[in-house]
């Protein structure tokens, strides 16, 4: 594990070399890539969402069905962060790696759409997205508009279907809900085909996403982990860097492109 500046630079160079050598690189991103954009993650001490709320009480499918008001009250501050967030240097660096052909697919646990806004085109949102809403009454899906989002964030107005008046559920995956089948199948296929998996900003604590690196490693893929905290695969990864993602990922990208 690198600690000194020289060791960190060595690991940055090693990560860049693995990315350059890969023919089919895939990135797996979690909440840690978006914290520099002002969106809180889930487990950091003090600021993590799950240090202040019990997931099953506010963000489970059962909780939403029986207490939607509580869910929307919990989601409102997070929605406010997402309303004001902009892609940071890490999102932009990853998009650059994709545009240059080094990363073929971005698999993300995030719902904030920042990868797409940064320029990534092949993004698989395995935990859903806050970009669309689905009606619980007539099942019609709609894009989340600035008008809907602003009314919710600023006034607490819960979005409702214009057709039938039922509550609109954000298309995010709640506890107790299955992952989107098509997206999950594509994610598994991408990982099964890769020769490099770059884990960025994920603690690898949520299954089944946490099992994807094992699938890649069984296919002899290289594994790079860039995350502020430890993961259960640190001991098996080719490169592990525990530093600020928005600082380190641009440096890795620079080495890849301008070695």
pLDDT exceeds 90 at position 175? no
Mean pLDDT in the chain? Answer: 91
Q: What is the pTM of this model?
A: 0.91
How much is the pLDDT for 2?
63
Active-site position among 24, 91, 115, 127: 127
Average pLDDT over every residue of 232-246: 97
Q: How far is it, in rounded angstroms, from Cα 224 to Cα 240? A: 6
Structural domains of the chain, with CATH: 1-39+87-127+178-259 (3.40.50.1220), 41-84+129-172 (3.30.1600.10)
- pLDDT bin (cut points 50, 70, 90) of residue 193 is very high
pLDDT at 48 (0 to 100): 43
Kindly report, residue by residue over 3-49, the tens digit of the pLDDT.
Answer: 678 899 999 999 999 999 999 999 999 999 999 999 986 544 444 45
165 has pLDDT over 90: yes
Between 66 and 195, the higher pLDDT residue: 195
Of 43 and 218, the one with more pLDDT: 218
127 is annotated as an active-site residue: yes
pLDDT digits (tens, 9 = 90+) for 76-111: 888 888 878 999 999 999 999 999 999 999 999 999
Average pLDDT rounded to a whole number, residues 155-183: 93
């Amino acid at each position: 594990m690198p600690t000194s500046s020289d060791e960190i630079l060595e690991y940055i160079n090693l990560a860049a070399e693995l990315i350059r050598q890969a023919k089919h690189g895939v990135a797996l991103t979690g909440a840690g890539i978006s914290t520099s954009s002002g969106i809180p993650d889930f487990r950091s001490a003090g600021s993590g969402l799950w240090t202040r709320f019990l997931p099953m009480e506010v963000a489970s499918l059962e909780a939403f069905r029986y207490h939607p008001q509580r869910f929307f009250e919990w989601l409102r501050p997070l929605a406010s962060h997402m309303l004001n967030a902009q892609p940071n240097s890490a999102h932009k660096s990853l998009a650059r790696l994709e545009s240059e052909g080094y990363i073929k697919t971005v698999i993300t646990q995030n719902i904030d759409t920042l990868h797409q806004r940064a320029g990534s085109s092949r993004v698989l949102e395995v935990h859903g997205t806050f970009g669309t809403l689905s009606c619980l009454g007539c099942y019609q899906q709609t894009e989340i508009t600035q008008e809907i989002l602003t009314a919710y964030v600023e006034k607490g107005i819960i979005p409702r279907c214009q057709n039938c008046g039922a509550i609109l559920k954000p298309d995010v995956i709640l506890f107790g809900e299955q992952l989107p089948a098509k997206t999950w199948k594509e994610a598994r296929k991408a990982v099964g085909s890769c020769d490099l998996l770059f884990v960025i900003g994920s603690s690898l604590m949520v299954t089944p996403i946490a099992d994807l690196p094992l699938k890649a490693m069984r296919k002899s893929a290289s594994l790079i982990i860039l995350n502020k905290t430890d993961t259960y695969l640190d001991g098996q990864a080719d490169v592990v860097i525990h530093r600020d993602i928005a600082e380190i990922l641009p440096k890795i990208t620079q080495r890849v492109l301008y070695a």
